[in-house]
Structure 1
Amino acid sequence: NGEKRWSGPDGILTGHISSDGIFTADDGSQPTGIIELPGLKLHVDSNHKVKTGWINEDGITYYYQEDGSSASDWVKINGTWYYFDNNGAMQTRWLHLKSGWYYLGDNGKMLTGWIKDGGKDYYLDKNGTMQTGYLTWGNRLYWAGADGAMIEQPCYYPDMYRYAQGYSSATNWLIQVDTTGNRFAVYKGYRGNWVPWYEWRCTTGAPGMWTPHGQFSVGGKGLYFGSGYRCWYYTTITGEYLIHSILYHADGYTVRDGRLGYNGSHGCVRLATSNAKWIYDNIPYGTKIVIW
Structure 2
Amino acid sequence: MKKKLALLFVLIMVLSSMPVMAAAVSADPAGAASDVTTQAAKNGWVKSGTGYMFYVNGKAYKKGIYWIGGKRYGFDANGKLCRGWFKLNGHSYFASNVNGAKGYGEVLTGYRKIGNKFYYLDPNQSGLRRSGFLWIGGKLYFFSSVDFAQRRTKGWFFIGNTMYYIKADGTVATNTTIDGYRIGGNGAVTDTSGMDKKAQGYSSSTRYLILVNKKEHKINIYQGSKGSWAAVKRNMICTIGKSSTPSPSGSFHLDHKSSKVYGYKDFKNSTAFFATRISAGNYFHSITYKLGCRNPYTHTPKDASLGKSKSNSCIRLSLENA
TM-score of the two chains, using structure 1 as the length reference: 0.70
Aligned with 2:260 (options 223, 229, 236) = 223
Deviation at 1:181, TM superposition (A): 4.3
What do residues 176-235 of structure 1 show as CA deviations (whole Å, max 9, x unaligned)? 434344342334466777664433333322322210224243323123645766543322
Moved more, 114-123 or 186-195: 186-195
Query: Do the aligned partners of 1:219 and 1:238 also contact (CA within 8 Å) in 2?
Result: no
Alpha-carbon distance, 1:247 to partner: 4.7
Equivalent residues in 2 for 1:1-292, closer than 5 Å: 14-15=34-35, 25-26=36-37, 28-45=39-56, 47-52=57-62, 53-86=64-97, 87-98=104-115, 100-106=117-123, 107=125, 108-126=127-145, 127-133=147-153, 134-144=156-166, 147-151=169-173, 154=181, 156=193, 157-165=195-203, 167-169=204-206, 173-188=208-223, 196-201=231-236, 202-214=238-250, 215-223=252-260, 225=262, 226=267, 231-247=272-288, 252-253=299-300, 256-260=303-307, 262-276=308-322
Query: Residue 5 of structure 1 corresponds to which residue in structure 2?
Result: none
Identify if the C-alpha distance between structure 1 residues 266 and 112 changes in structure 2 by more than 3 Å, giving closer, same or farther: same
The separation in 2 between residues aligned to 1:249 and 1:59, in whole angstroms, is 85
- For the 8 Å contact 2:270–2:302, the answer to whether it is kept is no
- 1:208 alignment partner, SS class: coil
The 1:29–1:102 alpha-carbon spacing in structure 2 relative to 1, beyond 3 Å, is same
TM, length-normalised to structure 2: 0.65
Secondary structure, aligned partner of 1:56: strand
Is the CA contact (8 Å cut-off) linking 1:132 and 1:143 kept in structure 2? no
CA contact (8 A) 1:204 1:210 kept: yes
**Greater helix share, structure number:** 2
Cross-structure match for 1:11:
none
Distance 1:264 1:163 in 2: 30
Please tell me whether Structure 1 or Structure 2 has the larger radius of gyration of its CA atoms.
2
Unaligned runs of 5+ in 1: 1-13, 16-24, 277-292
Alpha-carbon distance between aligned partners in 2 of 1:76 and 1:183, rounded to the nearest angstrom: 52
- Consecutive unaligned residues of structure 2, counting only runs of 5 or more, are 1-33, 98-103, 182-191, 292-297
Which has the bigger relative contact order, CA under 8 A and spacing at least 6? 1
User: What SS does the aligned partner of 1:114 have?
Assistant: strand
Shift in Å at residue 39 of structure 1?
A: 2.7
What displacement does 1:70 show?
Answer: 1.8
In structure 1, distance between residues paired with 2:244 and 2:134: 51
The verdict on how the C-alpha distance between 1:207 and 1:119 changes in structure 2, with shifts beyond 3 A counting, is farther
Aligned length: 250
CA distance in 2, matches of 1:195, 1:72: 42
Farther off after superposition, 152-161 or 94-103: 152-161
- For residues 55-87 of structure 1, the C-alpha deviation after alignment (integer angstroms, 9 at most, x for no partner) is 112332222222121222222211211111122
Letter of the aligned partner of 1:266 in structure 2?
Answer: N
8 Å contact kept, 2:259–2:274 = yes
Q: Does the C-alpha gap of structure 1 residues 163 and 265 become closer, same or farther in structure 2, counting only changes over 3 Å?
A: farther
Mapped to 1, the partners of 2:82 and 2:157 lie a distance apart of 34
Indicate how the Cα distance of structure 1 residues 31 and 163 shifts in structure 2: closer, same or farther if over 3 A, else same.
closer
What percent identity do the matched residue pairs reach?
A: 22
Q: Which amino acid aligns with 1:123?
A: F
What does the per-residue CA deviation read over 1:74-110, in whole Å, with 9 as the maximum and x for residues that have no partner?
2221121111112221111212122521111122111
Paired residues of 2:42 and 2:59 also in contact (CA < 8 A)? no
Task: Point out the structure with the larger strand share.
Answer: 1
